[in-house]
Amino acid sequence: MPEHTLKFSFSTVTDTAAFKLLELPTDLSKAIESSSGACSRWTIKGNPDEDAVLCTADKTYAIRSVVLSNSVLVATAAVSEDSGDSSVVVRDRLQEIMELVLSVPRLHKLDVLLRGKEYDEGQEEDDELYLGEAQDGRSKFTYQEARATLQASDTELDQGLKKRRVLILNGELRPISPPYLNAILELLLTHLVSLSLPHDSASVDKLCSALADGYDIRKDVCEQVMAWFGDIIIGEWSMDKTAVVREIGLGLLRPYRDESIRLDEFLAKWRKSVGDTFESLVSADLLSGNYLAQTDLLKEPPVVVLTYFPSSQLPIDPAARFTDLFLTRPRWKADEIAPFLADIVVDAKERDKFLLKYTRALTDAEGVWYTARAKYNG
């Protein structure tokens, strides 16, 4: 067994606290091993006032500090230039390591950054790029800025922009106005029928040209909307029927935030909007996590009414979200509360952990109910 001389670094000022050990989860370790060291690019993101995260091409990991019961010495090999003898130099002593925990992408800042930048009907702007400001004087937030500053992988960012219905126009991010989006979708459904195009292989050029000629809808806007609700392959659109029907239903439900609408009336209105071809897909279950349902006992006979209540506008912090949920309702059924937690957890296991931490479970003849573990005063 070779012997080495153990030395301590003379550069204590430089070396102390200069090293961090990062423990990789199994999936990232396998990625490195399988690629023979040629792994994809990983980026650590976070402003000084944010907890840092590590982003791969498609996932986000929270970086957490774990205190060790025993110290770990960081040592490097050194060879004397004079004698050629090898030695081991102790560079630093660590009492913590950094671990990675899979996390949901942190895209909630988008709602603030894109406020006031909605794209609506009639905003046919020049294609000329403006430095720092758009033509109408508002500040711009670009796709590249979002990639550089938001704590999410590129794949998760793209998915988040799609979910939030954000257009990319001349590199700038512009959330589309919900009423305008609904109008475009209803026109697409109408023209699929009038042009006798199959919904699973419709010509993108024919549909976008029809909307541009008849309704002055920009072709690039039309194509991006179509890509949100299906796949575009070699100039043909394979429409996701369920996604389109769901979005139209959300658009019809949004006005009922401060008042309720009867479920049967809402479903009838929804079916009429999507037309005979797609009315069989209409179901309140498609909108779970976006409404509250309750029985109006003052009606005779009693009827179920809906109120718009989107999970996307609840606090991202788990404690604050449960506070809001229990201020809205004192108790929730298991299947009712789950959709309102889906966007703040990575899986069912994490959701159940939050339920255990913030709620009490009660069981009666109607099933499992969750109530607040702490008492909240409205």
**Model confidence pLDDT, tens digit, residues 149-170:** 999 999 999 999 999 999 999 9
- For residue range 9-42, list pLDDT tens digits in order: 666 556 666 778 888 888 888 887 776 545 568 8
Cβ proximity of 42 and 154 under 8 Å = no
**Is the same domain home to 56 and 142?**
no
Final residue belonging to a domain, choices 176, 192, 224 = 176
For residue 152, the enclosing domain spans 109-176
- For residue range 82-107, list pLDDT tens digits in order: 666 677 778 777 888 889 999 999 99
pTM of this prediction?
0.81
Inside any domain, residue 302:
no
Burial 308-336 (b: 16+ CB within 10 A, else e): bbebeebeeebeebbbebbeebeebeeeb
Distance between CA atoms of 82 and 225, rounded to whole angstroms?
A: 70
**Is the same domain home to 92 and 11?**
yes
For the chain, the straight-line distance linking the first and the last C-alpha, in angstroms and rounded, comes to 71
Inside any domain, residue 10:
yes
Final residue belonging to a domain, choices 103, 125, 156 = 103
Question: Could you give the number of structural domains in the chain?
Answer: 3
**Is the same domain home to 57 and 94?**
yes
Final residue belonging to a domain, choices 45, 79, 103 = 103
pLDDT at 308: 96
Q: Is residue 133 very low, low, confident or very high in pLDDT (cuts 50, 70, 90)?
A: low
Inside any domain, residue 328:
yes
